[in-house]
Amino acid sequence: MKIRIGILGYGNLGRGVECAIKQNPDMELAAVFTRRDPKTVSILTPGVPVCLVSEAEKWTDKIDVMILCGGSATDLPVQTPAYAKLFNVVDSFDTHAHIPEHFARVDAAAKESGKLGIISVGWDPGLFSLNRMYANAVLPDGKDYTFWGKGVSQGHSDAIRRVEGVKDAKQYTIPVESALEAVRGGQAPDLTTREKHTRECFVVLEEGADAAKVEAAIKTMPDYFADYDTTVHFISEEELKRDHSGIPHGGFVLRSGHTGWDGQTKHVIEYSLKLESNPEFTSSVIVAYARAAYRLAKEGQSGCRTVFDIAPAYLSALSGEELRKTML
Amino acid sequence: MKIRIGILGYGNLGRGVECAIKQNPDMELAAVFTRRDPKTVSILTPGVPVCLVSEAEKWTDKIDVMILCGGSATDLPVQTPAYAKLFNVVDSFDTHAHIPEHFARVDAAAKESGKLGIISVGWDPGLFSLNRMYANAVLPDGKDYTFWGKGVSQGHSDAIRRVEGVKDAKQYTIPVESALEAVRGGQAPDLTTREKHTRECFVVLEEGADAAKVEAAIKTMPDYFADYDTTVHFISEEELKRDHSGIPHGGFVLRSGHTGWDGQTKHVIEYSLKLESNPEFTSSVIVAYARAAYRLAKEGQSGCRTVFDIAPAYLSALSGEELRKTML
């Protein structure tokens, strides 16, 4: 019997989850839940129902794991604790500063219902967090670095779109190669925000907008751009569509540390991702953890978990024996 | 109360474990066990006894985890099952092909004694295995690559030393940069042995030995060198000592894979290590897993485990709450 997955929220992430399920023969998509009129939502998998979110509670015995594909700002803080009362759930809550309180709420809900919830799954938080943690455990005397990009930042693109005179925009976060090289070389530099990343913006102006004014407004925007070296390119709507419609991302997690009786020996651990589609890759991580949620729940476990709490073997369709034989 | 660690076997790895314990304030070295005359073995940690291996069984209530620092060829296949009857144990058994039978023997011994054993800990097997496994779980449609080096291969150095006319030698395994770049670029190439690594040998000749004959003997040696592009440099004993006495190593684990409804989207996951000392780094991984062995045993678990079976949080001295707050 396959693991029956529900998808709640059918945007880029939901569609990514749908595609990832297709790649995992031990899983099947049971249903998609949406806040929109289900008749207006067409999904990729033939024969799978699209339902209103309000019907989800009728599906508790037909879904093993519900994957919550809403946003971290307003959806997941409410949805994950709510659905953890009905289903085993996995989310990709990524507001790092609010993870502890989100964890507490999901944990309470899931313990009450006897369900299992896994939060903050993806690549950061997620695979990057794992690599930070493993590297810290192995090299207690060291220094961490996380670089993001090259990739599209949705939040920064949105911020540009809110500037007066901007019709559309896409922002790329780009790691500074020389900073990365210094870290790789084991120099353990202290790096300011400006020294780690640059920001490159592709902007389509509204008709008659003042380019110089828009550029200044972007470059001086606090939090988003003021602390970075920012480049602004004005392009046409066609160019934006043609050259910048992808959602690539990625990044680097490094730890540079010392061992030896006097800490005289240097080591560098590096993990990196080069992703053509941020939501599709995030979805693939989520689906692997949905397998873990299913198995942990089957063992009778309940409450909230993060990637730190889950033994790697739970993610794999292979048995322990197969894993030891082929991957150890 | 600190986790009390025993070290069995005091070579490069044992000394590395001793240094790593010093970096972890929740641990202490209880004793070192050796097959040599303990009076001839001087360790770094003041006040810690060096004992004969035969005395180990008197220490069962004074040691929480025994770290077995012997070799994989003849020591560990015997030692790990034997000591798992007395102690929670961690080893670095690295003969990939024999891991399944080693696992079975340690599992049987540890289940009988109620102890916990973790085998094949280090970086390959170990951290590299973890990365292969995570990447496979996340990208089921993809291709794996492992490159080793640049680093010293002890086995290949030994093989050269067995050639007639060779006084001493050091062999470096070097990944082929262009092959690495092709994998990173997502080209998913099929690579032969020769295309992935080259071998560089630094050889000190016996007086009067025939350099050409030695070089030919090395380059045509089956299994070790015949399938590789091998370079042989003849140097003096002083040069070998001055320039090649370190034991650096490292390598790369990559998985290149596809997502999307038609598998149209490419991703590359890369993990790499640059290590100035192979045994010191391996030891640091082992010590983190010794913490896990201690905790799992405290929970009442017994039997054999590998890195696949252990939730990452068990490796860290930080609490779940601290981990979620600082590393997720």
Q: A41 at the B interface (CB within 8 A)?
A: no
Contact B133 A320 (CB under 8 A): no
What's the CA dihedral at A270, A275, A280, A283 to 10 degrees?
A: 10
Residue A273 in tokens = 């991702």
Q: B276 at the A interface (CB within 8 A)?
A: yes
Residue B49 in tokens = 């006894």
Residue B137 in tokens = 């779980």
> How many other CB atoms sit within 10 Å of the CB of residue B113?
18
Contact B328 A267 (CB under 8 A): no
Confidence of residue A64 (pLDDT cuts 50, 70, 90): very high
Give the whole-number percent of chain A exceeding pLDDT 90: 97
Residue B168 in tokens = 């001493």
Confidence of residue A40 (pLDDT cuts 50, 70, 90): very high
In this predicted structure, the answer to whether residue A84 has a pLDDT above a threshold of 90 is yes
Terminal alpha carbon distance of chain A: 28
Beta strands B197-205; B166-175: pairing state: antiparallel
Contact B267 A261 (CB under 8 A): no
Place of tokens 């016996």: B206
In this predicted structure, the answer to whether residue A162 has a pLDDT above a threshold of 90 is yes
> Given A129, A267, A310, which is nearest B328 (Cβ)?
A129
Distance from CA of B78 to the nearest CA of A (A): 20
**Sheet with strand B303-305: strands edge to edge:** B50-52, B27-34, B3-8, B65-68, B88-90, B116-118, B303-305
Confidence of residue A193 (pLDDT cuts 50, 70, 90): confident
What lies within 8 Å, CB to CB, of A192 at 6+ separation is none
Mean pLDDT of chain A: 97
Contact A285 B138 (CB under 8 A): yes
Q: Which helix (H) or strand (E) holds A125?
A: none
Q: B104 at the A interface (CB within 8 A)?
A: no
Contact B325 A100 (CB under 8 A): yes
| Among candidate residues A18, A10, A19, A248, the one with its CA nearest the CA of residue B262 | A19
Q: Which residue of B has its CA nearest to A44?
A: B261
Size of interface A-B (CB pairs under 8 A): 211
> How many other CB atoms sit within 10 Å of the CB of residue A158?
12
Which letter does DSSP use for residue B91 in this model?
A: -
**Chain A residues touching B44 at Cβ < 8 A:** 261
Q: Is the peptide bond before B125 cis (omega within 30 degrees of 0)?
A: yes
Global pTM value: 0.96
| Among candidate residues A181, A152, A159, A139, the one with its CA nearest the CA of residue A266 | A139
Instruction: Choose from A184, A324, A325, A326 for mutation: most chain B CBs within 10 A.
Output: A324
Contact B100 A184 (CB under 8 A): no
Confidence of residue A39 (pLDDT cuts 50, 70, 90): very high
Which sign, positive or negative, has the C-alpha torsion B146, B148, B153, B159? positive
What's the CA dihedral at A89, B271, B223, B91 to 10 degrees?
A: -70
Q: How far apart are CA A266 and CA B295, in angstroms?
A: 29
What Cα–Cα distance (Å) separates residue A230 from each residue in A167, A170, A174, A216?
A: 19, 13, 10, 10
Q: A56 at the B interface (CB within 8 A)?
A: no
Give the whole-number percent of chain A exceeding pLDDT 70: 100
Q: Which helix (H) or strand (E) holds A105?
A: helix A99-113
Q: How far apart are CA B194 and CA B57, in angstroms?
A: 48
Q: What region does A76 belong to: left with phi over 0, alpha with psi -120 to 50, or beta?
A: alpha
Which sign, positive or negative, has the C-alpha torsion A290, A292, A297, A303? negative
Contact A133 B22 (CB under 8 A): no
**Chain A residues touching B142 at Cβ < 8 A:** none
Q: How far apart are CA B211 and CA B215, in angstroms?
A: 6
Q: Between A154 and A232, where is the model more confident?
A: A232
Q: How far apart are CA B14 and CA B96, in angstroms?
A: 21
Per-residue pLDDT tens over the stretch A218-256: 999 998 999 999 999 999 999 999 999 999 999 999 999
Residue B123 in tokens = 């970086």
> Given B19, B125, B276, which is nearest A261 (Cβ)?
B19
Q: Per residue of chain B (328 residues), what is the pLDDT tens digit?
A: 999 999 999 999 999 999 999 999 999 999 999 999 999 999 999 999 999 999 999 999 999 999 999 999 999 999 999 999 999 999 999 999 999 999 999 999 999 999 999 999 999 999 999 999 999 999 999 999 999 999 999 889 999 999 999 999 999 999 999 999 999 998 899 999 899 999 999 999 999 999 999 999 999 999 899 999 999 999 999 999 999 999 999 999 999 999 999 999 999 999 999 999 999 999 999 999 999 999 999 999 999 999 999 999 999 999 999 999 999 9
